Amino acid sequence: RRFLASKEQFHAYLRAGGQPGGHVGGGGEEEEVEVKEKKEEVGSCQSEPPAKRVRLEDLGQDGESQEDAGAEKEPAERKRARGQNKNRPCMKPNHYEQSRLCPSVSQGCAEKCYFGPRCRFLHDIGKYMAAKPADLGRSCVLFETFGKCIYGVTCRFAQAHLGDGYQNIINADLAKQWEGKSLVRNNLSKDLQHQLRKRKFSFKKADEYLCALAKTHGDGGKGGKATGRSKEEQEVSNCTTPQEGLGDSPECPVLPEQEEYPKTDALQSPGLTGGEEASSIKTVGPVTDEDIIKLRSCEKKKLEIQGKLYLAPLTTCGNLPFRRICKRFGADVTCGEMAVCTNLLQGQSSEWALLKRHHTEDIFGVQLEGAFPDTMTKCAELLNQTIEVDFVDINVGCPIDLVYKKGGGCALMTRSNKFEQIVRGMNSVLDVPLTVKIRTGVQEKINVAHKIIPKIREWGASMVTLHGRSREQRYTRGADWDYIAECAKIASPMPLFGNGDILSYEDANRAMQMGVSGIMIARQVPVGALIKPWLFTEIKEQRHWDISSSERFDILKDFTNYGLEHWGSDTQGVEKTRKFLLEWLSFLCRYIPVGLLEHLPQKINERPPYYMGRDYLETLMASQNVDDWIKISELLLGPVPTSFTFLPKHKANSYR
């Protein structure tokens, strides 16, 4: 009972800044906690603390103890908020736009301003420095890591690398070590963006597949919607006219019977590199086997990840800095956030940013979302030619209405014709393995995954990941691991990864005994990679880690450093790092320290009462109040801008 507290006591302690007067039980009890902390060994397996919290059967329905329930002033009928916070306010800071330094000046080439006489940015460094907010710290992570900060005077830690006359200091020896090394790959070049926006990129393989598909299904396919038919009819008309950049139009090959694999005939092109396919320049030299022999599906690169820990693609929070944190804790396979194929084909920079890969990610894939074979196949060929990935994943598990109502995500499980065309088409244009992530079904009590998985294997996918919940369940209730085990037997010899409710190394061991090839670790309310990124270490070392608040704070420090490297150390980069830090804190606050638990491990959907941590920082990290998250961000990134607001993605994540 020593750690239990009422809502008022909890927030009074935080308002008091951790002073003894605000702690439950007074100062003597706090001293006892401090003595206990000194005896704890960092990272060791802890037994239950002597003073246990109230048993679950002694708690009220709202999670409060019976003693505190009477003192609670809030009405008992208040329900927990559900759903998403739609139309969230834009958090882009505008206060620095009016006095922003021109990029040409910050990069040391003021005489060549990119905007010419129309430039609305400042060119006077002295005037800019007079209006610039105070620096946030004495050390710049970019300067200390790479020997040079490319943001110069605009850096919010500029005092670490500015000399006389606001000259940017460079550590030549350290900078030379990183010279020529590519730390982040899969960037969108201006030339490629121009080709996509002007529709000049060549989709030779995709056009051949879609041309044959339209020839066989001239009516747009069974069950096709108006939008799908119009796009496929456009492909039919494109088959009769010369393709731009492809020379003379080839005859449209006839697609074999629907049961056969489309790429086994005319849809399979020789195994050339992406650059050779897009180029019309004739090559010279002897003809080799690679020039004339087609690459069969069995000769494609294999995806050897059986038994490895797979970090799921997490929308918003699964960014590159977060994946670096998980890689450090033992994640073997990482995947970028879900990217919408139509946005990639339009050359949107924000969507291409989701494909970026850090050099430490040795096994990396990207996940695509789309509803029609034309856009998905073209996008697969585009990525096959322009970026470096080890596999491409199709999102057939997204439950949100915005995706589902357009025919993507879980809706593809009910549109088998389109689903088949997408898988076959993408597999025909990719040189890397194609994987699929699905759910048990759309409706809660009607499982259909066991019927779809054999078809996916026949269509040519290399692996399937099954989330043990339906679309209607979303992320609530328990995952059906018995059904996942049944599907794993049906999928054999194709690997099947299981996903859902992996809360500890014990759950991971039970999951592997179900016969799956591996496990995917995702958001997992209330515990998982977002709430507990060190879960990968626990699984590999087969132990419960009672991680201290200072160690957790060091993880947040590393995240902010990675964020400043990735998004920049100027004002815009700092605020973007803060935004994603706050998004992550909306999940991190649900973690309950192992040393405070009465029984191990923590169970899913087990909502604890208000509790006091073993120190002020641990209590602050347990708060679900937005203002407390902002306070944590200020400890790392300095004060927030004027009139700063943050609203989490999900209503259940916080309150004010």
Beta-bridge partners for 51: none
- Quick one: average pLDDT of 184-210? 95
Q: For the full predicted model, state whether its pTM sits above 0.85.
A: no
Architecture of domain 309-545 in this structure: Alpha-Beta Barrel (3.20)
Distance CA 90, CA 645 (A): 9
Partners of 497 in the β-ladder: 465, 518
Per-position b or e across 98-123, b if 16+ CB within 10 A of its CB: eebbbebbbeeeeeebeeeeeeebbe
The residue with greater pLDDT, 230 or 470, is: 470
Looking at residue 351, what is its pLDDT? Answer: 96
CB environment 271-282: b (16+ within 10 A), e (fewer) = bbebeebbeeee
Integer Cα distance of 56 and 321 in angstroms: 37
Helix axis angle for 373-386 and 226-239, nearest 10°, is 60
Do 475 and 469 contact (CB within 8 A), yes or no?
A: yes
Strand partners, 521: 311
Nearest Cα residue to 340 out of 253, 408, 436, 415: 408
Q: Is the pLDDT of residue 249 over 60?
A: no
**Residue-wise pLDDT tens digits, 612-622:** 899 999 999 99
Instruction: Give me the pLDDT at residue 498, please.
Output: 93
8 Å CB contact between 409 and 396: yes
Q: What average pLDDT does range 234-240 have in this prediction?
A: 39
* Residue range 31-44, pLDDT digits in tens: 333 433 433 333 33
Higher pLDDT, 168 or 56: 168
- Given a cut of 90, whether residue 135 has pLDDT beyond it is yes
Roughly how many angstroms between the first and final C-alpha of the chain, as a whole number?
27
CB 559 within 8 A of CB 321: yes
As annotated, the active-site residues are 398
> What's the pLDDT at 18?
73
**Alpha-carbon 443 to chain mean position:** 26
pLDDT of 609: 81
Report the pLDDT averaged over residues 341-346: 96
Domain range summary for the chain, segments of one domain joined by +: 103-185, 309-545, 558-655
